[in-house]
Structure 1
Amino acid sequence: MNRNKTFCEECRRDVEYMVETATIKGKLKGEEYEYIGKKAVCMECGGEVYVAGIEDENLKALYDMYRQKNDIISQEKILEIPQKYNIGKRPLSLLLGWGEMTFSRYCEGDMPTKQYSDILQKIYDDPAYYLELLEKNKDNLKSPQAYEKSKRKVQELLGEEKNAGSKLDSIIQYLLYKCEDITPLALQKALYYVQGFFYAFEGRFLFEEECEAWVHGPVYRDVYNRYSSYRFDPIESVEVFDESVFTTSEKAILDSVIKNFCCYSGKILEEFTHLEKPWRRTRDGLPVDAHSNRVIPKELIGEYFVAVKEKFNMLTPGDIEVYSKAIFEQIN
């Protein structure tokens, strides 16, 4: 509760007031908007009183509502742009071909037009777009140093994006974090089962990479190249992993595959896949030991695991256990 003092028109003197949350209506650019704001109330008469700071907050809330309704970039994002790209406010205005003080006014709360807002939003979202503008309009800048500093920063950002890794990379790291003594062969099969069962439960594939029908089962070629030096030895484990990169459904399926398939050796998992339709159909007509780079069609993988889910009446990812036990019994 705020008990600072302000002047009350009703009481005709300075009084203590409290601040309450209120639904407020306000007009901006000819349109009326309703938003959640605050009001100051006299603690003696209960009437509303004027407090400059609260009025400023309400004005900002009105502007924020206008921005939201009209798809205008927020002031907070505008303020982040110079820091993100290591460029001053005036140089950024010049780079964009605007008036020298235009961007500074937006930082102070002025509302950009929809056209200018769209440009700022794209700059905020897309470092590659900003780099394109920087190269195209660098002659607008008064200082070569401003160009060089900003270029180095955006190149760093683009490098970070490139190295952030794909969904497949995150899954590999998680498997190496959760599984003990997983070999390259077992890793390949775990990735295959993650992909198949995720499609069965979610109706989409978890990662984009294609797998091939090699002699020893489904293989993701880039993953093979990455870990081929380990040969038959376990891959070095990952000590730390941020599990928040996965959604609840992603993690549930990953954990079930780890529990129900990664308990088996790579050779046993290889035998599992040799019994399954996707690998067998893709290698149809090939000699047993023939090398092949035939891609196992994703549609075939999806179709097979949907059928498995239906056959074994799987309701949750935990039910994957039924299939892993059933196929294990087939090879024994």
Structure 2
Amino acid sequence: MNGNKSMKTTYCPLCGKEHQPRKVERDAATTIKDVAVTYRETVFVCEHSDEETNEYETASLTNRNLLAARDAYRERMHLLTSSEIAALRKKYGLTQAELAKVLGWGEVTVTRYETKAIQDEAHDGLLRIIRDNPMELNRFLDRNKKALGEIRFGELKNRIAQVMEEQGNAALRRQAVQSAYLPFHEPSYANGNTSFDERKFTASVNYLASHVEYLYKTRLMKMLWYADSLAYRDHGKAITGAVYRHMPMGALPVAYNELLALDGIEVKEEEQEDGSTRYLISPGNERTWEILNKDERAALDEVISKFKYFSAQNIVEHMHRERAYLETSPGEIISFEYAHHLNWD
């Protein structure tokens, strides 16, 4: 996909002038350690150059492209990507140098893994262990306490304890969702011929939140229903596998509160003057989108295009005119067969 994002004029090394180059994103291929990989690269294009080659990269773009290629290799080889390493470090509130010290590595090792170098399997395995098990990181922290100092040691011990509590709560939320969706495990009209997929649900929420400004819970839930319904109508399968009920404000997925509390979904509570609370969904990590295929993104894009500027009340009123709402009773599961009768024109 080509991008034309607005940017400041800059010196162009091809034509020697100050102007606004065109920024292009595209698929590229390379070989790393005898493994062929494809990745997304970004280049600048000079529209004024008479040279045969009118593309160029800045130093920062070159580094970015190299990192994208190396991350593609890591994904092929089932290694943590640079952003996943950064995420696990930030989860514990560690700097790059601190994480290296805690694990007994060279001080710049983590910095290199997050910017250019590819970790070996042994280091990758250790990073995965501490990502998933805070107690293991706690053990390393105790072992290398002197490398951090008394005050910082205490701060990190507290943060690890906090992460352990958060992970325990997250596990309970996941169990609640799994329990709620157990009766709908088999593909059916209730779930859009798709068993519930937590990763695709999270990805869909983050995708919508990243493309719709001020996305609150009511509007989000309706947009998810429409996206799942469009995907089912056009391809025979919903995106998320969520099961929706007829509720006063329109379609709501089963266990919607627990769904919004899942890891990877950012929700901010906003107290209103009348004492009520609104829930603002913030954009999450773009990497979660990668699990969505092009047809699923197309359904989400179509929903965004139609409802991006609708208020919550507008989209609720639109939902209330759907056959899916008019022909079902309060609390009833909404069959995805109604997707063939969407009010979409």
Q: TM-score, normalised by structure 1?
A: 0.47
Q: TM-score, normalised by structure 2?
A: 0.46
Larger Rg: 1
